[in-house]
C-alpha cells in the first residue's frame, strides 16, 4: 500500500499573512518615535524639516536630512538620527541604503526598544535575500514580551517567515501561536489559524506530544493536542471522533475555528480494516470495452501485488447511450447482496448518473468517470482522467512559472473546446491575461493560416512593406512574432502535436514556451518520432516516468503480460491500479481534502464534492524523450508528513 500524505497547501496562506508585514513595519517606522527621547535640546531647523518630510511621506528627503543630522551629531543623538534615516530609506525600499545606515549605528547608544527597531529592519532585509538564519540571529537577543505590541507583531511575523524558509515547523507553530494574540483583523486571524494548523500537521504525532508547551485548557496546549489527535487517529474515524469530543471538553473555550477540523467529522466511509469482497462494475462490450479491459487488468495487477485475501467479483454493466438506460442499478444491488464492502465502477457517465440519482447507496462506490454536477452524494466518489484536469493543471503550472500573458491554440470540435475552455477559465481565475484563442482543423496538416495571425507575423510583414515604400529601398527582412506573449497553451493529440510544434518554430515562435496536456504524448517512448516535440512541456501520470514506473510491481507485471498493448493503454492501467489501491485509504481520504495519496495516476485527494483530484508531474521533451522537470510544488518527502 502506498502512503497517505499531507499536502503542502500552507504556502499560499503564508504569503497572504506576509502581506501584513509591510503595514506593521509602517506602524513601527512612522507612528512609533524612539522610546528614549533625543537629548533635551531645542529642535533645530534641520531636524524639524526632516520630521516634516517624514510625516508628509517624502521619505527620501527625510532620510537624507536625518543622515546629514547624524553626520553632524555624536553619541545617542547620532545613533537615533541614523535609525530614523534607516527607517525612512526602508519606506522607499532602498535596502542598500538601509543596510549601510544601520552599519553606522553604535547600538549601545540606543535604548533597548530602539535596538529592537533596528533588529527588525535587519531581519526584514535578511529575509528579502532569503537569509533566514541571519534574520533569526538579528532577533534572537530580544525578549519580545517586553516589546510594544507593534514591535511584537512585526518580529513574530518575521520569525514565521524565517522558520518557513528553514522548515523549522515546531518554532514556526510557536511563532504563529504568539502572533495570534496580537492580531485584531478577522481575515488576518483566520489566515494565521489556517497556516498554524497546516504547520502543526507537518509534525509527527510523537513530536506534537513531546513538545506540547502546556496543559489543558491553555491555548497553546490545545493547538498541539488537537493536531496530535488528527495525526494519530486520522486513519481510525471512530477513534478520531471520540478523541475530538474529548478535546472539546478539555478545551471548551479554545479559539481554534471548528472549520479547521469539522471536515474530519463529516460522514465518510467506514470500511473495515480487512475487506472481504469488492465488486467491479465494468462493460464487456460496446464503445468502452477496450478501456474497461485495461482498467480491469490494472485492478487485478494491484490486487495480486497487495497479496490480500480480498475476493474480487466482476459484474457486467450494459448501457444504451442512445436511450440513456443502464442495468447498473441491478448490478449494484447484486453487489450488495454479495456482501461487497465496496464497488469499483461504473465507467460510463450514464451509469454513474444512475447511481448519483439513487435515493441511497448502502455501500461506497468509486466510480471511474466524473459528472459535471458538483453536488456531493454520500458514498459516491468519482475518479476519472478528465482532459479538463490536465488543462487546469497547465494553467496552475504557468502561474508558478511567473507567466502572465497566454495564447491558446486548440482543435475545432467538442473535445478541443472543452480543454481550451477549462484552461482559459482557470487561467483567468488565476489572474492571468488571455491574449487570444485560435482553432485549427485536425484534418489539415499545414497550419500556417492559423499560426501567422496568432503570432502576429502578418502585422510584422505589413510594417516591412510600409517601410520599404517609405524609403524606396529593398530591405532585408525577417518577420518577428509579437513579443507580448509569455507562453502558448497547445491542445493537441500526438500526431497533430508532432506537426504543430515544428510549424510553430518555423513561424518564428523562437524560445516561446509551449505547454500542452498529456494528450500530446502517446505514452510510448519513441525518440525518433517524438524528436519533433523537442521543447514541448507537458504534464503526465507518474507511470509515464521510468523512475516511478519501474519501482511499481503492478506496472512491471502489466508490462510483462501485455507488451503489445501496454503503452497504448498505460493511463487506463494506472487508473485501475489506483482505484484498487485507494480503497484501504478511503476512510481517511473521504474525510479530509488535506490528505493525499501517491498513486500511479498522480498525487490524489478527494474534494468536498467527492471528486478525486490529481496532481501530475511536469516534463519537457529533449532529444525526443520526455524528461521530468523539477517539482513546482513541494511534496512531502519525509516520514514526518506521512500518516502512519
Return residue ranges of the chain for CATH 1.25.40: 4-200
The secondary element (H helix, E strand) that includes residue 50 is helix 45-56
Does residue 642 sit in helix, strand or coil?
strand
Whose grid coordinates read 496538416?
A: 445
Is the model more confident about 131 or about 640?
Answer: 131
| Cβ neighbours of 88 (radius 10 Å) | 28
459 has pLDDT over 80: no
pLDDT the model gives residue 639: 38
**Reported pTM:** 0.68
Contact 315, 279 (CB under 8 A): yes
Residue 88 has pLDDT above 90, yes or no: yes
CA 551 to mean position of chain CA atoms: 26
Quote the pLDDT of residue 484: 86
Q: 388-545+604-641 belongs to which CATH class?
A: alpha beta
pLDDT reported for residue 27: 53
* Residue 189, C-alpha cell as written in the block: 486571524
Residues 109-136: what's their mean pLDDT?
Answer: 94
| Segments of the chain assigned to CATH 3.40.50.2300 | 388-545+604-641
Q: Which residues of 469-494 are buried (b: 16+ CB within 10 A; e: fewer)?
A: eeeeeeeeeebbbbeebbbbbbbbbb
Strands (E), 336-481: 342-344, 365-367, 380-382, 405-411, 433-440
Rounded CA-CA distance 47/434 in Å is 52
Hey, what CATH topology would domain 4-200 get? 1.25.40
Q: Is the pLDDT of residue 552 over 50?
A: yes
The predicted pLDDT at position 235 comes to 72
- Residues making up the chain, counted from first to last: 644
3-state secondary structure of 641: helix
Which pLDDT belongs to residue 266? Answer: 66
Task: Quickly state the pLDDT bin for 13 (edges 50, 70, 90).
Answer: very low
Beginning with the edge strand found earlier in the chain, give each strand of the sheet holding 514-516 in spatial order. 433-440, 405-411, 487-490, 514-516, 537-540, 617-622, 625-628
Inter-helix orientation angle 219-233/169-180, to 10°: 140
Q: Are strands 537-540 and 487-490 parallel, antiparallel or unpaired?
A: unpaired
What pLDDT, on a 0 to 100 scale, did the predictor assign at position 4?
Answer: 52
| Residues 6+ positions from 170 with CB-CB distance below 8 Å | 203, 207, 211
pLDDT higher than threshold 60 for residue 382: yes
- State residue 8's pLDDT score: 42
pLDDT of residue 538: 97
* pLDDT level of residue 259 (50, 70, 90 thresholds): confident
Give dist(CA 102, CA 406) in Å, integer.
44
pLDDT, position 393: 95
pLDDT value at 35 more than 80: no
Q: In the chain, how long is the greatest CA-to-CA distance? A: 97
Grid coordinates standing for 119?
A: 533588529
Residue 574: pLDDT band by 50, 70, 90 thresholds? very high
**CB contact set of 43 (below 8 Å; sequence gap of 6+):** 51
H-helix segments, 92-166: 95-103, 112-128, 132-139, 149-166
- Is the pLDDT assigned to residue 634 strictly greater than 50? no
For 174-201, how does the pLDDT look when each residue is reduced to its tens digit (9 = 90+)? Answer: 999 999 999 999 999 999 999 999 999 9
Amino acid at each position: 500500500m502506498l502512503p497517505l500524505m499531507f499536502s503542502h497547501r500552507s504556502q499560499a496562506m503564508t504569503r497572504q499573512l506576509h502581506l501584513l508585514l509591510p503595514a506593521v513595519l509602517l506602524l513601527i517606522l512612522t507612528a512609533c518615535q524612539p522610546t528614549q527621547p533625543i537629548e533635551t535640546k531645542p529642535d533645530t531647523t534641520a531636524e524639524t524639516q526632516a520630521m516634516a518630510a517624514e510625516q508628509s511621506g517624502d521619505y527620501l528627503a527625510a532620510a537624507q536630512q536625518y543622515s546629514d543630522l547624524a553626520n553632524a551629531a555624536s553619541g545617542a543623538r547620532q545613533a537615533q538620527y541614523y535609525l530614523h534615516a534607516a527607517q525612512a530609506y526602508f519606506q522607499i525600499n532602498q535596502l542598500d541604503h538601509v543596510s549601510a545606515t544601520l552599519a553606522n549605528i553604535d547600538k549601545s547608544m540606543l535604548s533597548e526598544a530602539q535596538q529592537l527597531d533596528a533588529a527588525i529592519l535587519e531581519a526584514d532585509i535578511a529575509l528579502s535575500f532569503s537569509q533566514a538564519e541571519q534574520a533569526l540571529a538579528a532577533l534572537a537577543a530580544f525578549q519580545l514580551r517586553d516589546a510594544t505590541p507593534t514591535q511584537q507583531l512585526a518580529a513574530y511575523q518575521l520569525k514565521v517567515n524565517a522558520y518557513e524558509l528553514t522548515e523549522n515547523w515546531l518554532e514556526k507553530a510557536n511563532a504563529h501561536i504568539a502572533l495570534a494574540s496580537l492580531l485584531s483583523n478577522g481575515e488576518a486571524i483566520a489566515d494565521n489559524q489556517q497556516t498554524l494548523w497546516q504547520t502543526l500537521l507537518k509534525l509527527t504525532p510523537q513530536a506534537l506530544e513531546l513538545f506540547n508547551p502546556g496543559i489543558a485548557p491553555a491555548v497553546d496546549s490545545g493547538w498541539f493536542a488537537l493536531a496530535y489527535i488528527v495525526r494519530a487517529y486520522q486513519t481510525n474515524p471512530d477513534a478520531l471522533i471520540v478523541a475530538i469530543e474529548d478535546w472539546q471538553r478539555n478545551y471548551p473555550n479554545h479559539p481554534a475555528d471548528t472549520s479547521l477540523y469539522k471536515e474530519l467529522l463529516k460522514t465518510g466511509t467506514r470500511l473495515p480494516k480487512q475487506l472481504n469482497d469488492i465488486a467491479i462494475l465494468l462493460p464487456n462490450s460496446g464503445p468502452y470495452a477496450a478501456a474497461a479491459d485495461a482498467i480491469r487488468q490494472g485492478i487485478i495487477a494491484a490486487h495480486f501485488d497487495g497479496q490480500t485475501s480480498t475476493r474480487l467479483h466482476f459484474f457486467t454493466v450494459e448501457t444504451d447511450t442512445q436511450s440513456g438506460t443502464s442495468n447498473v442499478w441491478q448490478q449494484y444491488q447484486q453487489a450488495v447482496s454479495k456482501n461487497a464492502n465496496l464497488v469499483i465502477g461504473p465507467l460510463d457517465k450514464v451509469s454513474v448518473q444512475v447511481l448519483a440519482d439513487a435515493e441511497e447507496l448502502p455501500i461506497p462506490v468509486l466510480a471511474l468517470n466524473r459528472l459535471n454536477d458538483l453536488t456531493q452524494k454520500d458514498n459516491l466518489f468519482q475518479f476519472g482522467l478528465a482532459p479538463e484536469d490536465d488543462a487546469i493543471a497547465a494553467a496552475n503550472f504557468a502561474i508558478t512559472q511567473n507567466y502572465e500573458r497566454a495564447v491558446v491554440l486548440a482543435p475545432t470540435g467538442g473535445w478541443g473546446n472543452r480543454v481550451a475552455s477549462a484552461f482559459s477559465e482557470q487561467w483567468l481565475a488565476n489572474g492571468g491575461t488571455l491574449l487570444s484563442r485560435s482553432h485549427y482543423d485536425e484534418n489539415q496538416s499545414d497550419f500556417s493560416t492559423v499560426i501567422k495571425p496568432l503570432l502576429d507575423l502578418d502585422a510584422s510583414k505589413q510594417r516591412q512593406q510600409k517601410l520599404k515604400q517609405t524609403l524606396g529601398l529593398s530591405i532585408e527582412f525577417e518577420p518577428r512574432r509579437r513579443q507580448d506573449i509569455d507562453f502558448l497553451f497547445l491542445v493537441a493529440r500526438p500526431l497533430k502535436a508532432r506537426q504543430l510544434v515544428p510549424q510553430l518554430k518555423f513561424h518564428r515562435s523562437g524560445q516561446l514556451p509551449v505547454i500542452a496536456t498529456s494528450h500530446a504524448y502517446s505514452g510510448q517512448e519513441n525518440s525518433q518520432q517524438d524528436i519533433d516535440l523537442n521543447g514541448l512541456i507537458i504534464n503526465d501520470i507518474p507511470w509515464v516516468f521510468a523512475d516511478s514506473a519501474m519501482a511499481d510491481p503492478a506496472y512491471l507485471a502489466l508490462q510483462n503480460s501485455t507488451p503489445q498493448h501496454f503503452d497504448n493503454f498505460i493511463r487506463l492501467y494506472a487508473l485501475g491500479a489506483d482505484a484498487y489501491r485507494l480503497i484501504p485509504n478511503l476512510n481517511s481520504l473521504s474525510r479530509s481534502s488535506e490528505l493525499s495519496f501517491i498513486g500511479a495516476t498522480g498525487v490524489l485527494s478527494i474534494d468536498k464534492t467527492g471528486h478525486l483530484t490529481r496532481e501530475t508531474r511536469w516534463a519537457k521533451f529533449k532529444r525526443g524523450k520526455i524528461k521530468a522537470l523539477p517539482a513546482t510544488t513541494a511534496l512531502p518527502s519525509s516520514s514526518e508528513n506521512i500518516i502512519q
